[in-house]
Amino acid sequence: MTPLQNDGIQDNSLHPKKVPYHFGEKLRQVREHKGFTLKVVAQQAGVSESLVSQIERNHVSPAIDTLLALADVLDINLEFLFEEYRKERPVKIIRSGERPTLNEEEIIYEEISKPDDVDKQNSFESYMVRIPANSHTHRGSYGHIGKEMGYILHGKAKLTYENKEYILEEGDSATFSSGVPHTLENIGEDELKAIWIVTPPQRFVN
């Protein structure tokens, strides 16, 4: 086993790889500003002097425990090391009068959040479902993959889940696996309004 492998990283001299994070310059600048030698930093961090040198020159990417040890020795805030790698995460807005809608016979679905096209594995959709009196959903009656959470905004509903029935009133919520047959029925006199969250997305998908 080579010294580099003992330090918790692979020997990139045999298989050069692109180092994604170039914070070596910052480590070197702080070390030199504090007047520390490579040897002193390496000894206090419990790694080899050679490894510290390669990290500072961005020749290797350190294991997280090694990076934490170096940051501790140099008294560096991790946000300082990674500040340029912060990514802007967009906020998706759907205005109340611009919601995409879908109709399932007399039932209306209004999209209130868009599924993530990039992170599909963790994506979800959410919508407001509006069910007239004496009507019920149909699509879930056969079951499908995923999980759901519903919250009753207005009205009274009956959730039929496999062979069981649950009465839901305003302010009630339900969470369940979508794998078995399920329907939501409006058993009140007024229009039923509910917020529904489903993962993975089922209705509002491209």
Report pLDDT digits (tens) over 57-85. Answer: 888 888 888 889 999 999 988 778 777 66
**Lookup result for tokens 């959470």:** 149
pLDDT at 188: 96
Q: Which span out of 6-20, 32-46, 98-112, 147-161 was modeled with the highest average pLDDT?
A: 147-161
pLDDT digits (tens, 9 = 90+) for 88-99: 667 888 998 899
Residue 194 near residue 153, CB atoms below 8 Å: yes
The token duo for 178 is 């979508």
pTM of the model: 0.58
| Nearest one of 152, 145, 146 to 131, comparing CA atoms | 152
pLDDT digits (tens, 9 = 90+) for 98-108: 999 999 889 99
Q: What are phi and psi of 156, to 5 degrees?
A: -130, 130
In the chain, domain spans: 3-85, 96-199
Mean pLDDT within 128-146 = 86
- pLDDT band per the 50, 70, 90 thresholds, residue 87: low
CATH superfamily for domain 96-199: Jelly Rolls (2.60.120.10)
Least confident of 123-127, 134-138, 202-206: 202-206
Structural class in CATH, domain 3-85: mainly alpha
**Lookup result for tokens 């994070």:** 21
| Nearest one of 74, 71, 52 to 7, comparing CA atoms | 52
pLDDT digits (tens, 9 = 90+) for 11-39: 443 344 444 567 788 899 999 988 999 99
Residue 173 near residue 139, CB atoms below 8 Å: no
Say whether pLDDT at 130 is over 70: yes
| Nearest one of 149, 146, 136 to 107, comparing CA atoms | 136
Distance CA 18, CA 20 (A): 6
- pLDDT band per the 50, 70, 90 thresholds, residue 41: very high
pLDDT digits (tens, 9 = 90+) for 164-204: 999 999 999 999 999 899 999 999 999 999 999 999 888 87
Q: Which residue did the predictor score with more confidence, 115 or 18?
A: 115
Distance CA 131, CA 137 (A): 8
Mean pLDDT within 139-162 = 89
pLDDT at 190: 95
